[in-house]
Amino acid sequence: MRWFKDLRMGQKILILVNVALIVVLIVLVFSGVGLDQLFALGILVGIMNIISIIFARASFKFGIALNTENEGDDVEPSDIKYLNWYIRWWSFTLVMLGAVICGLVFEK
């Protein structure tokens, strides 16, 4: 669980929110109410969002290593880069929430 401790607080909160929404979506899929296709789409978006949150810093460092010859271990993303990531992650979380709402509103 060292990787979880290395994440920023905002990333931890986003992971927990996405996991909670995925659990809600799985319960809704098996309960038989609403559109299962929208719930499945929300689950897929949530899983991809969690993977994106977990591997964001590692993929950033990998991209820097590909583009430079002498990159050090202390290379960190800038605050603007983190802001860009947070906006993207929260928007995907809102898409998941929209899948829940639309799945419940639009009946079979």
pLDDT single digits (tens) 17-69: 999 999 999 999 999 888 999 999 999 999 999 999 988 877 877 776 666 66
Q: How many domains does the chain have?
A: 1
In a domain, 48, yes or no: yes
In a domain, 1, yes or no: no
- What's this model's pTM, rounded to 2 decimal places? 0.83
Q: Which structural domain range is residue 67 located in?
A: 15-105
In a domain, 90, yes or no: yes
In a domain, 9, yes or no: no
In a domain, 55, yes or no: yes
In a domain, 2, yes or no: no
| Side-chain-facing half-sphere of 94: CA atoms under 13 Å | 6
In a domain, 3, yes or no: no
